Structure 1
Amino acid sequence: MKIASATQHARQFIQIQCVRAALSGLAIAAVGGVMTVAPAYAQTFPISSVEIEGNQRIEDATILSYLRLERGQSASAAQLNDAVQRLQRSGLFETVDVVPVGNRLVVTVKEYPTINRVNIEGNKRLKDADLLPLLNSKSRRVYSPATAEADAALLAEGYNQAGRIAATVTPRIIPRSNNRVDLVFEISEGDVVEVERISFIGNRAYSDRRLRRVIESKQAGLLRSIIQSDTFVGDRVAFDRQLLRDFYLSRGYVDFQVLSSTPELTRERDGYFISFKVREGQQFKVGQVTTTSDLPEIDAAEYQRVARLKPGQVYSPAKIENTITRMERLALQKGLNFIRVEPRITRNDAAVTLDVEFAIIRGPRVFVERIDIEGNATTLDRVVRRQFKTVEGDPFNPREIRDAAERIRALGYFSTADVNTRQGSGPEQVVVDVDVEETTTGSLGFGVSYGADTGATFSVNFIERNFLGRGQTLSFSFDTGSDNQNTSIGFIEPAFLGRDLSLGVNTYYRTTDSQYADYDTQAVGFEPSVEFPVSENGRLRLNYRISKDSIKNVDPTVSPIIQRDEGGAYTSALGYLYSYDTRRTGLNPNGGVLLRFGQQFAGIGGGLQFIQTTGLVSAETKVAREEVTLRAQLEFGANTRLEGNSRITERFFLNSNKLRGFDGAGMGPRDLASTNQDALGGNFFAVARLEADFPLGLPEEYGIRGGVFFDVGSVWGLDDVNGAGGTIVDDSLNLRSVIGFSVLWDTQIGPLRFNFSKALVKEDYDRERTFDLTVSTKF
């Protein structure tokens, strides 16, 4: 079998044989000893017939259409040459031979073969199904060396985008019978070209380590064979420039510039060095903040009071935007349309401050004529339209249109979402165009997690975030471990009754083999809920829960306090949960606050009667040029029984997620007279957690950081410590405290946390845990 290179076939040999132009006359006259030569004229060839030879698939008429030479005309050598060029450029023939023989024009062609099939060989990282659609060379088409070379370049570019710039693609043909060939693209993939080092020049306020956490490109580390973010992608560097600018602007560096971003290929061509040259400038703070207006219906002092921007704060464009939004919202609440707030910045280089004047003006009188939505093949128009607070006929507010565009992108239903405006049917009309491109919204995940309290747990999760294109969420999860199983089905309608009101329904079935004593539990429940915003960062959730909690297979040796709870009991409860979260929505890029407070009122319509109260206060901030994260949390709970004694399924147990340094249920009320000194839980708990995490000096691409923590807390309180036999129970409030050190490793297979702890204060019967490992991953 003979294999020929496509490049060799591209070298065409074109023979054109022409009869040399004879001199139409040569007159030599000697007049006074001077020789005169008559001028020569180019010869033309009369064509009485055209004979075509060598064509098998291509019709004579097709070849004649490229020749553009007809019988009976005379053709010059230039016209014959043009005819040859036209045939050659058609891409149908490997060789073309045009020969005038007397009055006949003989055209001899050799056709390119037909492609029998197209194969790709040598590819392992990229699959045939991904590469074949890129090719213009197809089976049953005429083979073209130029097209094959272009296809090879496309494949090489695909590998380049995957970080394998050393990949080579060579097209080859294998001759077959009947003037057919197999076209084979031989690929040598080479190794992934990784980012070996990312460095910054000119940065003083923030270290290289901090800035590397800002950008998307990552250095190759320990798990370089798994991590994809350390693969060099040229387009990612441009995005990194914008991320750096946003980072500095949000921290008051208004003069920040990325002077250059230079990727340099290593000598071995197996890695890149990326250098960002930056100019930070000075950090500006907010100077004077004033509000002015010439409009008689505007009270500037009233609008000044809603401004959150204060002198002395670090300047941030986000804070300016937030204040403008508040002022324009106040104008709408007062029924004032077309009011715009224009920020006017005055720079004070001596004091390194920016004075901000919010000028309230009257904007142009423009209305929204209509909102056109295109590209949503699955998602209903109303899902996109409800992201607009503006409807047809409302006054046009550019800021509200920009906010709506951000809400559309935040849905996660679209890979791209462009929102633009254009003039409508009149000068006072605006049409809003929404052009989206849908993406996948469903996922099926398999996961594994490990905790010292729960052991290894395997899970299967399905979630569809845009169910039937209605913007609804449907989810299913199944978790199973050595001691427990949990199955749940959930449904969420985010815009119930067309409002910012989320309706959720959840059903669950759980079984556990208690680690704290020898008994099993079973819980089945149904819980509908509604959730809605009550402030800029606050939300309120109302829910109803009906469930049956059962205690089964109670061993006779367990504590009498547990034995009296054997059997099932129904719970019918109304509850609420208020949350306030500024960690992502606040204006402080270095910190945030999370508050949660909720209550459950059981006994509605019968069943168990109790009030359960829980709360969480959490705050975090970054210090030391954002290298160290400080975090403080206070969590508490109270279970007030309205009738009878509390059941063990209602009481609180503390595990290592709440108080480190102890086994699950390893501290708190315990029946010391029982065989296994069974844990009983408590009606009250309170825990304070203080921790800090910081770099350990290792390369940040390893993802390893250190941490220290201090926890203090307790669980206490039982309704009745007297069981059906002798019990020894201490349910008083006894504080425990723990210190420890953590190693945090953020890996591609999941976040790992190693806790090494030592209890400072504990009771003799507590069960201490000096080492704890948690791991969680999805794949």
Structure 2
Amino acid sequence: MLLPRRVVRAWLVLGLCLSLPTLECATAQEVVRDIVVEGAQRTETSTIQSYLLIQPGDPFDDARIDRSLKSLFATGLFADVSISRNGDQLVVKVVENPIINRVAFEGNERIDDKTLEAEVALRPRTIYTRAKVQSDVTRILTLYRRSGRFAATVEPKVIELPQNRVDVVFEIQEGDVTTVESIKFIGNKEFDDSELRTVIRTKESAWWRFFSTDDTYDPDRLSLDRELLRRFYLRGGYADFRVVSSVAELSPDREGFYLVFTIEEGERYKVGKVDVHTTLKGLDPTQLKDVLKLAPGDWYDADKVEKSIDALSDAVGTLGYAFVDVRPKLERNREAHTIDLAFDINEGPRVFIERIDISGNTRTQDRVIRREFRLVEGDAFDAAKLRRSRQRIQDLDFFEKVNVEQVPGNAPDRAVIKVGVEEKSTGSLSVGAGFSTGTGILGDVSVRERNFLGRGQDVVLSALLGQRRKQAELSFTEPYFLDREVSAGFDGFYIETDRQSESSFDVRTYGGDLRIGYPWSEAFTESWKYTLKSSEMFNVPSSASIFVQEAQGTETYSEISHIAAYDKRDSKIDPTSGYLAKLVTDVAGLGGSVAYMRNRIETDYYYPVAENWVLSLSGNGGIINGLGEDVKLLDRFFIGGNEVRGFKIDGIGPRDRSTNDALGGEYFYAGSVQLAFPLGFPEEFRIKGRVFNDVGSSWKLQENDPNHLIEDSSSLRASAGFGMTWVSPFGPLGVDIGYAYLKENYDRTELFRLNFGTRF
């Protein structure tokens, strides 16, 4: 009879033990015969066994059992795990973590549930762990601290439900905003604390900052403040400046912070020698000195050093050198307090653009971003062009953030440009109300989409209703017509204006235009426009000027316009340096009932006198000539109001002496010298003052005037005054007080001018 195999094995082991007494005979009992799992409800037994480091047939090993215990805990599936031995069985007992049924927030008013849900890691139908809860508590507190609420507390509550489920409720006490009570500086000698407080972004708490969050403490903003201080001193010539420390101390009541910046200003340096050196063959460094932004004797300015590097890179690039590396060398003379500058221009590494990767644009099409690049795949890498490309993408105003970086490509001479964007809303529905001296009370509604269908197209539909003006407009612009750098679009408009107080008539104009424009360079652009419109003079009283009565009726215009502009301003919205020159030529008569040629020129120049002080010079002028006929009254130049402050709208120019109606001139010019400066209010108030001196004149008529009723003089008119602009939370407010000190006795003047508007 054959014996079972396990019996034979037992007899063999027993025989060995009897023949070899020194052998450890407990071996047979220390082999794991079976693994028993207890307590598992959702997790499969095989899954639990797969995490164990000991399996059936293995000897019992305390170290491996301990590691198996840690492995099961690391899964996050279990709240408790124990492993014990029962004879030759290994017993694994587990207590599973519950499943989350719901995550809720209570007590949150300043931050909504949607924002908090995006921040926490816990989600319904996921496994609950204490570690995840504590991590989410930390995340929520961080979110509140970023908004300035350091007194916020978060207490998690766990509500047990049947079937091993739980609800997780975060009970939040938001507390008050933790503001910055005081900001002090230690070590500053050249600038007092009040001046340095205007440099940094963080502000002291004050009652008027209810529309601003700059007076709440933010650690990230503190890092920005350190950098702003460094840039401020480096612009002023303090090349040795450094921020030793920046300390934020929370008050005992946890309601405010006290900030202290410890700084070392160092000495102020002037520019000594300025040289340009190069190893490039055929390049004369003396020809490049004119593009430098610094000269010997100037105060050292780190920003101007960077601008000089860009200017040199551009200048060398235009001369045909594709790969250049411009590096500045600074040599301090601490005794003379000067810094010698030497710009070394050498051949840079030969790197080509392998590809351009774009990410983050969920709505905007890739080509809208790609066409703003001054570089394409295969081009030689150019850091200056890359910076301009980033600025052009930022100027689209489609994105909250734009990040452009260079990373290595698949070969040493290849680079990949990565563009990351964060989109923002480009559509708007606005309702506005306001008042101005020229148009009275007004209201308007506007619907606009600046990135229509993600194609970068601009669509506007607006309507305005005022005491003296009614207007409706539809506009469409395609910035890259036929996928070329050509802007094309059209406008449709209806305008009705009350000009009774100036010239005793109303005018109604409606029509449309087609336009196209293209750049010749980064600064020079050219555009064309064709306009077809109808203008009607009506509501002319019998007491109006005989010249106005003769001009009433309807005229049809078929007009072609040419605009050439050269724009070197640093900003098109709020320029502080640079210049603009524009020439506009209008020719009417290709059809219609009116024929003329009109030329206008506009120039602006901006110069930063000091920090936030900007001197501006502006001038414009025009001339209109009838083509085979006299110039119509509506086509003449009417100036005053905003063109020459101190004079009413249409207050300058030819006038009927018997009725005092403005008739307009065929020639005009206007100019202004203005200095804009801060008024000492906190920067977030956005209040600026200005002083100005305006000049101008309008003259010349071809009217038949046998009775000598027309007053007409080309004499200079001039005014001087002051004003202020406040970009308030309720809309921009502009006030000007101007006194006309050179005028004719028939001119119409005004002392006070107000413009105010808001949007909701």
Q: Same fold (TM over 0.5)?
A: yes
Counterpart selection for 1:521 from 503, 508, 529: 508
Partner of 2:601: 615
- Deviation string 1:340-385 (CA, Å, 9 cap, x unpaired) is 5554444444554444444454444x25262232425555555555
Partner of 1:37: none
- Deviation string 1:581-629 (CA, Å, 9 cap, x unpaired) is 444179xx97444444433233345542223333344444454x53644
| In structure 2, distance between residues paired with 1:295 and 1:135 | 57
- Deviation string 1:260-315 (CA, Å, 9 cap, x unpaired) is 33333344433334344444444444444444455553344445566665444444
**Is structure 2 residue 551 aligned with structure 1 residue 551?**
no
Report deviation, 1:702. Answer: 4.1
**Contact 1:379–1:471 (Cα < 8 Å) also in 2:** yes
| In structure 2, distance between residues paired with 1:413 and 1:191 | 35
Report deviation, 1:234. Answer: 1.8
Report the AA paired with residue 558 of structure 1: A
Counterpart selection for 1:135 from 86, 108, 120: 120
Residues 366-385 of structure 1 aligned to structure 2 (within 5 Å) = 366-368=350-352, 370-375=354-359, 379-385=364-370
**Is structure 2 residue 403 aligned with structure 1 residue 442?**
no
Normalising by structure 2, report the TM-score: 0.80
Partner of 1:9: none
| In structure 2, distance between residues paired with 1:191 and 1:340 | 53
**Is structure 2 residue 584 aligned with structure 1 residue 598?**
yes
Distance 1:308 1:274, change over 3 A: closer
Q: Which has the higher helix share?
A: 2
Partner of 1:680: 663
Q: Which moved more, 1:255-264 or 1:46-55?
A: 46-55
**Contact 1:504–1:530 (Cα < 8 Å) also in 2:** no
**Is structure 2 residue 141 aligned with structure 1 residue 156?**
yes
| In structure 1, distance between residues paired with 2:744 and 2:34 | 114
Residues 26-41 of structure 1 aligned to structure 2 (within 5 Å) = none
Identity level (%): 35
| In structure 2, distance between residues paired with 1:226 and 1:760 | 41
Partner of 2:756: 775
Normalising by structure 1, report the TM-score: 0.79
3-state SS of 1:150 partner: helix
Distance 1:87 1:575, change over 3 A: closer
Report the AA paired with residue 528 of structure 1: R
**Contact 1:421–1:430 (Cα < 8 Å) also in 2:** no
Partner of 2:416: 432
Distance 1:174 1:698, change over 3 A: same
3-state SS of 1:191 partner: coil
Distance 1:247 1:198, change over 3 A: same
Unaligned runs of 5+ in 1: 1-40
| In structure 1, distance between residues paired with 2:689 and 2:282 | 58
Distance 1:646 1:186, change over 3 A: farther
- Deviation string 1:120-161 (CA, Å, 9 cap, x unpaired) is 222222222222122222223343333223222212211222
3-state SS of 1:235 partner: helix
**Contact 2:445–2:464 (Cα < 8 Å) also in 1:** yes
**Is structure 2 residue 750 aligned with structure 1 residue 750?**
no
Report deviation, 1:391. Answer: 4.5
**Contact 1:652–1:684 (Cα < 8 Å) also in 2:** yes
| In structure 2, distance between residues paired with 1:137 and 1:621 | 56
| In structure 1, distance between residues paired with 2:131 and 2:313 | 61
Residues 494-573 of structure 1 aligned to structure 2 (within 5 Å) = 494-495=479-480, 501-514=486-499, 516=501, 517-533=504-520, 537-573=523-559
| In structure 2, distance between residues paired with 1:381 and 1:495 | 13
Report the AA paired with residue 509 of structure 2: Q
Report deviation, 1:568. Answer: 2.6
**Contact 1:446–1:458 (Cα < 8 Å) also in 2:** no
| In structure 1, distance between residues paired with 2:505 and 2:693 | 32
Residues 604-643 of structure 1 aligned to structure 2 (within 5 Å) = 604-605=590-591, 607-623=593-609, 626=611, 628-643=613-628
**Contact 1:708–1:741 (Cα < 8 Å) also in 2:** yes
**Contact 1:442–1:462 (Cα < 8 Å) also in 2:** no
| In structure 2, distance between residues paired with 1:568 and 1:70 | 101
Report deviation, 1:532. Answer: 1.9
| In structure 1, distance between residues paired with 2:297 and 2:497 | 55
Report deviation, 1:732. Answer: 2.6
**Is structure 2 residue 637 aligned with structure 1 residue 652?**
yes
Q: Which moved more, 1:430-439 or 1:59-68?
A: 59-68
| In structure 1, distance between residues paired with 2:74 and 2:314 | 66
Partner of 2:472: 487
Unaligned runs of 5+ in 2: 1-25
Report the AA paired with residue 750 of structure 1: G
**Contact 2:398–2:426 (Cα < 8 Å) also in 1:** no
3-state SS of 2:634 partner: coil
Distance 1:378 1:767, change over 3 A: same
Partner of 2:702: 719
**Contact 2:617–2:672 (Cα < 8 Å) also in 1:** yes
**Contact 2:461–2:474 (Cα < 8 Å) also in 1:** yes
| In structure 1, distance between residues paired with 2:182 and 2:150 | 17
| In structure 2, distance between residues paired with 1:87 and 1:301 | 74
**Contact 2:533–2:557 (Cα < 8 Å) also in 1:** yes
Report the AA paired with residue 701 of structure 2: L
| In structure 2, distance between residues paired with 1:299 and 1:695 | 44
Q: Which moved more, 1:683-692 or 1:334-343?
A: 334-343
Residues 164-179 of structure 1 aligned to structure 2 (within 5 Å) = 164-179=149-164
**Contact 1:226–1:748 (Cα < 8 Å) also in 2:** yes
**Contact 1:441–1:464 (Cα < 8 Å) also in 2:** no
- Deviation string 1:169-219 (CA, Å, 9 cap, x unpaired) is 222233444544332222222222334444444455556555545444344
Q: Which moved more, 1:653-662 or 1:496-505?
A: 496-505
3-state SS of 1:238 partner: helix
Report deviation, 1:444. Answer: 0.8
| In structure 2, distance between residues paired with 1:655 and 1:768 | 9
**Contact 2:515–2:527 (Cα < 8 Å) also in 1:** no
Report the AA paired with residue 712 of structure 2: D
| In structure 2, distance between residues paired with 1:140 and 1:423 | 43
RMSD over aligned CA atoms reads 4.3
The number of residue pairs the alignment matches comes to 726
Report the AA paired with residue 178 of structure 2: V
| In structure 2, distance between residues paired with 1:50 and 1:727 | 120
Distance 1:574 1:207, change over 3 A: farther
| In structure 2, distance between residues paired with 1:580 and 1:639 | 23
| In structure 1, distance between residues paired with 2:652 and 2:663 | 10
3-state SS of 1:561 partner: helix
**Contact 1:148–1:171 (Cα < 8 Å) also in 2:** yes
Report the AA paired with residue 683 of structure 1: E
Distance 1:158 1:209, change over 3 A: same
Report the AA paired with residue 532 of structure 1: P
| In structure 1, distance between residues paired with 2:56 and 2:594 | 106
3-state SS of 1:436 partner: strand
Counterpart selection for 2:171 from 186, 192, 209: 186
- Deviation string 1:738-764 (CA, Å, 9 cap, x unpaired) is 444434433333332333444545566
Report deviation, 1:166. Answer: 1.9
Distance 1:401 1:108, change over 3 A: closer
3-state SS of 1:564 partner: helix
| In structure 2, distance between residues paired with 1:346 and 1:179 | 73
Partner of 2:16: none
Distance 1:639 1:211, change over 3 A: farther
Distance 1:344 1:700, change over 3 A: closer
| In structure 1, distance between residues paired with 2:149 and 2:191 | 32
